[in-house]
Amino acid sequence: MSSASCIFCKIIKGDIPSFKLFESDKVFAFLDIQPLSRGHALVIPKFHGEKLIDIPDEDLVEILPLVKKIAKAFGAQDFNVLQNNGRIANQAVDHVHFHMIPKPNEKDGLTLGWPARATDMEKLKILHEEIKAKM
Ligand code: 5GP
Ligand code: ZN
């Protein structure tokens, strides 16, 4: 599945140029055009879908091994793997993509807030049961 208006579908087709790292029937990887650090790469399923939950399982199988291959090829010791879903979660391009972002030092690469909140075991237990029942 592909979308005529989608920038990443155009990259897959070759209608928009990219620095391609790898391609198979199911996946495509290329360098990010506005890198957060040197080596920042994107791995995408060829199947067009906006959010992770829109992508069939079989189109996701090759994704993480490919992220791993690129991280190893780049020699990234420290790195973040990021996949944003939805505008307030920082998604700008509406075609699922996984970032591999090397973190060579404090300044370069991904910086993120981690606003951990206190909870208690009773609340976690209720949540656990609720989610498990829906899986
Ligand atoms: P998001 O915020 O949606 O998770 O990240 C989108 C990423 O796609 C950004 O890091 C941005 O630099 C990258 N990007 C957007 N347009 C293009 C493009 O035309 N070519 C490439 N190589 N990367 C792009
Ligand atoms: Zn697309």
CA dihedral 92, 98, 103, 108 (to 10 degrees): -20
Residue 101 pLDDT greater than 90, yes or no: yes
Rounded Cα distance between 101 and 32, Å, is: 9
How many angstroms separate the alpha carbon of residue 28 from the centre of ligand 2?
11
At 1, is the pLDDT very low, low, confident or very high (cuts 50, 70, 90)? Answer: confident
- What type of residue is 113? G
Question: 95 catalytic, yes or no?
Answer: no
**Mind listing the pLDDT tens digit for each residue in 5-28?**
999 999 999 999 999 999 999 999
Q: How many CB atoms lie within 10 A of CB 63?
A: 22
**Mind listing the pLDDT tens digit for each residue in 67-93?**
999 999 999 999 999 999 999 999 999
Pocket test residue of 11, 33, 82 for ligand 1, highest count of atoms within 8 A of CB: 33
pLDDT at residue 105 in the model: 97
Contact, 44 vs 29, CB < 8 A? yes
